[in-house]
Amino acid sequence: MTNDFRGKKNLTKQSIINATILIAIVTALLLVVMQDQALAQAQQPGLGSILKLSRASIPIDIPMEKGYENGHEIFFIATDVSDQKTADQLTKMTNFTVNVAPILSQTPETARGQAFIFTNGISGKGPNGFQLPVLNAKPGNESYSPLLQLNMVTWKDTSKAKELKSVQEIMTAQESGQLTVQKTDIIANHPAVKWDGGSMKIREDKKIGDDSKYVGGQVVNIDTEKMIVTMLAHRGWGPDGRTLYSHRCHTRHASSNDGSYKCSNR
C-alpha cells in the first residue's frame, strides 16, 4: 500500500513538472507569434508609430507652405502661433497640428520678421484662399527671423488686385491708396526650409537609425512638389513623461498614448 501511494505521489509531481514545461513552451511560442503579428501590423501604413515610439531616432514628414520673398519663392513650415484661431486655420490648411504658443506674442519687435497675408484679391493657395503670403527676408539676411509678425493686406478695389511678390510692391500699393495693411499682434513660428539661393542643410547620410547623430544636418529630404520636408528627430521625454521626438530648432513629439504627432518650438 505504501509503495503504491508513493508511486502515485511521484507520478503526480512528474505530471505537474511536465505540465509546467508544456505551458512554458506554449507561452513562449505565443509570445513569438504575437511579436511577429505586432511587427507586421506596425509596418503597415498608418501604424508605424507602434514601432516609432521605441526608436531613438526617426524621420518626420512636415508639410511645407510656400510664399514670396523679394520676388522669389520661399518654402517654410508652420510649427507654432500665438493665436488660437490662426493655429486652427493653419492646422486645417496643412492637415498638421500647429501649436498655440501665447508667449510668442512677447517676442521683442527687434526679433520679429514680417509676413503679409492677403484677405482678398487674387485667388490662390494662401491662408485665406487668396495669393501666397509675402515674407520680408530669407535666411542670411540681417532682418531674417523665423518668428513672423502677421500683417493683413486688403485691396480696396478687388477688380484692380494683382499678385504682389515683395514687401516693396506691397508698400508701393499702400502708398498709392490701392490697399491697406493692418498689423496684428499675432506671432507665428515659420522657419524657412528652402529659399532663393539656399536651403536648410540636407544630410548626406539619409539612412536613419538609432545611432543617427545631430551632426550632418537635420533635413533628410526637401520635396517641393509634394510640399513635404523630412527631418531627423531624436527621442526624449516631455514634461509630462511622454515620448518626445525633437530636432535642433523645432520639435515634433509623439504621445506614447496614441502615437499622434504635434509640433512646438523649443
Q: What is the arithmetic mean of pLDDT over 17-38?
A: 46
Q: How confident is the model at residue 14 (pLDDT cuts 50, 70, 90)?
A: low
Summarize pLDDT for 155-205 with one digit per residue, the tens.
999 999 999 999 999 999 999 999 999 999 999 999 999 999 999 999 887
Cα separation, 86 vs 80, whole angstroms: 10
- Per-residue burial over 150-167, b if 16 or more Cβ lie within 10 Å, else e, is bbbbbbeeeeebeebbbb
Would the pLDDT of 135 be above 60?
yes
Beta-bridged to residue 194, according to DSSP, are 75, 199
Joined together, the cell numbers standing for residue 13 give 509531481
pLDDT of residue 212: 61
Summarize pLDDT for 229-242 with one digit per residue, the tens.
998 776 665 666 66
Q: Which carries the bigger pLDDT value, residue 248 or residue 128?
A: 128
Residue 216 CB partners (closer than 8 Å, separation 6+): 201, 203, 204, 205
Interior angle at CA 186, CA 184 and CA 73, nearest 5: 90
* Locus of grid cell 505540465: 19
Strand (E) positions, 103-227?
A: 113-118, 134-135, 147-155, 179-189, 192-195, 198-199, 219-223
Joined together, the cell numbers standing for residue 27 give 507561452
pLDDT of residue 249: 44
Mean pLDDT of the chain: 78
Share of the chain above pLDDT 90, in %: 56
pTM score of the predicted model: 0.70
What are 247-256's contacts with CB under 8 Å, separation 24+?
A: 247/60, 247/214, 247/218, 248/214, 248/218, 249/146, 249/191, 249/218, 250/77, 250/79, 250/189, 250/191, 252/60, 252/62, 252/79, 254/49, 254/52, 254/53, 256/53
Cα separation, 248 vs 265, whole angstroms: 10
Cα separation, 155 vs 170, whole angstroms: 10
Indicate the DSSP class of residue 218: S
